[in-house]
Amino acid sequence: MGVHPTYAGDRVQVLDTTLRDGAQGASVSFTLKDKIAIALKLDELGVDYIEGGWPYSNPKDYEFFRSIKEYGLRAKVAAFGSTRRKGVRPDKDENLNSIVKADVQAAVIFGKSWTLHVREVLGTTWEENLAMISESVEYLKSHGMEVVYDAEHFFQGYQEDPEMALASIEAAWRAGASVIALADTNGGTPPSEIYRIVQEVKRRFPAMPLGAHMHNDIGCAVANTLMAVAAGARHVQGTINGIGERTGNADLTAVLPTLELKMGFKVLREEPPQIKFGRLREVSRLVYEVLNVQPNPYQPYVGDFAFAHKGGVHADAVMKVPRAYEHIDPELVGNRRVIVVSEMAGGASLALRLSELGISAEKRDPRLKAALEEIKRLEREGYSFDVGPASAELIVLKHLGLYREMFKLKEWRVITGPTSASYAVVKVAIGGIDYVEGAEGVGPVHAVDMALRKALAKAFPDLQRVALRDYKVILPTLVKNTESVVRVTVEFSDGSRVWRTVGVSTNVVEASVKALADGLDYYLQVASLAVAKI
């Protein structure tokens, strides 16, 4: 792996701030239940600190601090806030007292390192700023809390006035802060500058325990965190999936495995690494689910495409010598290798996907080539089998003669309007006999789904196991209006396996019905192939 020998075995502390700084992200909002679910998952993962909220700015956070106590987390729970206001005694400061009132093990407070902020935002002097820092740390410590000090805008402050910036962190350290986290608050510092400045701070204060709090405004939050550690920091702050204000914070799902698997540090509590990183994708998915946000498929380590191979030659080679094309074994982080079916895919990729269904096909088989032609033609019409591979597999099964027609949705009609009730009727052929069924639904797609399942229930009782897990619609074309074709993708699960289908039409209901019918059909085809093998 080329692990740098100097670092081997050094422990790096992890402070997760998904629930606090992450909550500053646009379109991020957590309920109490969400926060508890995430905190429990972070505790399982083995982080050292869970920063749970900012009680002064959001009094709802007290509920979280109160409720989380019952769970006896192994991680330390931390409350966030600022140093005292200018000219106010610490014991009279509402902000500091809100942290005390949170009654947690650790406080994370931020103070000013940048002259611009001291003068123009706070409107005070450097002397008062230093007093605000040291008195705030002392006050919280006197209440028995550990204090993590976040030096806001440290790098810009240091670039403009290094001595003042250093004086501010020295004040926090002398007052007893356990870590001095250097923050690139507006996220604009390049990694080479982070490295230079952290090294200089380390030279000036060799015994000061340093940390890193990085934002992603120039796309370097993860790397800046790593460079700060390379320069001597041993505490990192970040969020799951990098959520946070503007472009977000350092994504811990990338920072943590890189520190341990690539750089030789130790992070997270002492479980074997294959267990702790093995939960990374699960943790990432939980946060996306809670936020109702589509996961980023291109996300390092945990994204759907992180180990996706496209193009025949490459997909072929990765099977032979994985290490030649993959930077780690995907399973180490709970992810998996994916062979992408698309118009660039060759017969080799299709053959590989089929092998996952237990079907062996020769990659030069002309029937595969014909299937590929059909796939390419449909992609030109707006389909994308990257997002609905099960629909592509149905096409391939048909070309290979392995498809058994279980049912055929011959007709359907829906009436809908501005109430929740919609009415559908379907005509389905099963084994040569037509069945007509009608149903009511809370929308047109639900109504057709209900009618279709009603028609299929007797012949295929197992279909009741199949549930829809996600549904999305976009306009795949450039010229967009209400006449455009829409592309619907649906994700299904039977409790163990997950599959995704795609449907395209100018009619959003028709595209949905196509993807739904493909999803039910796929389940029946896979079951039938499994039987055929026995």
In the complex, least distance from residue 475 CB atom to its own copies, rounded to whole angstroms: 5
| String of contacts with its own copies for each residue 479-518, x by CB under 8 A | -xxxxx-x------------------xxxxxx-xx--x--
**Closest distance between its own copies and the C-beta of residue 143, in Å?**
25
SS3 200: helix
Angle at which helix 366-380 crosses helix 389-399, to 10 degrees, equals 140
C-beta closer to its own copies: residue 236 or 486: 486
What is the rounded CA–CA span in Å between residue 338 and residue 317? 13
What is the smallest separation between the CB atom of 218 and its own copies, expressed in angstroms? 5
Partnered with residue 81 across adjacent β-strands are 109
Q: Decide: is 199 part of the binding site for its own copies (CB under 8 A).
A: no
**At which residue do the structure tokens 């608050």 appear?**
185
Report the 10 Å Cβ neighbour count for 513.
Answer: 24
Q: Which residues of 204-224 are buried (b: 16+ CB within 10 A; e: fewer)?
A: ebeebbbbbbbbbbbebbbbb
- Residues 156-195 close enough to bind its own copies by CB under 8 A: 156, 159-160, 186-193, 195
Does the footprint of its own copies cover residue 227 (CB under 8 A)? yes
Establish if 226 lies at the interface with its own copies (CB under 8 A): yes
Which pair of structure tokens corresponds to residue 217?
């405004």
Applying CB under 8 A, the span of 12-20, 115-123, 348-356, 454-462 interacting with its own copies comes to 115-123
Q: Which of residues 262-281 bind its own copies (CB under 8 A)?
A: 262-263
Stretch in the footprint of its own copies (CB under 8 A) among 44-52, 92-100, 305-313, 349-357: 305-313
- 324-343 residues in contact with its own copies (CB under 8 A) are 324-328, 340, 342-343
CA 50, 51, 55, 60 torsion-angle sign: negative
Residues 45-84 that bind its own copies (CB under 8 A): 57
Q: Is 142 in the site for its own copies (CB under 8 A)?
A: no
Specify the 3-state DSSP secondary structure of 218: coil
Among 43, 48, 251, 518, indicate the residue that binds its own copies (CB under 8 A).
Answer: 251
Cα distance between residue 110 and residue 90, in whole Å:
15
Place of tokens 């015994």: 207
How many residues make contact with its own copies (CB under 8 A)?
Answer: 135
SS3 of residue 319 by DSSP: helix
Q: Say whether residue 296 binds its own copies (CB under 8 A).
A: yes
- Per CB under 8 A, does 471 bind its own copies? yes
Residue 150 touching its own copies (CB under 8 A): no
Can residue 319 be called a binding residue for its own copies (CB under 8 A)?
no
429 near its own copies (CB under 8 A) = no
436 forms beta bridges with 427
Residues making up the chain, counted from first to last: 534
Among 104, 222, 361, 524, binds its own copies (CB under 8 A): 222
**CA-based nearest residue to 133, from 149, 114, 157:** 149
Stretch of 130-138, 153-161, 355-363, 397-405 lying at the interface with its own copies (CB under 8 A): 153-161
| Cβ-proximal residues to 463 (8 Å cutoff; 6+ apart), any chain | 453, 456, 457, 520, 523, 524
The one segment of 132-140, 317-325, 428-436, 495-503 that binds its own copies by CB under 8 A: 317-325
Give 195's contacts (C-beta < 8 A, 6+ positions apart): 227, 228, 230, 231
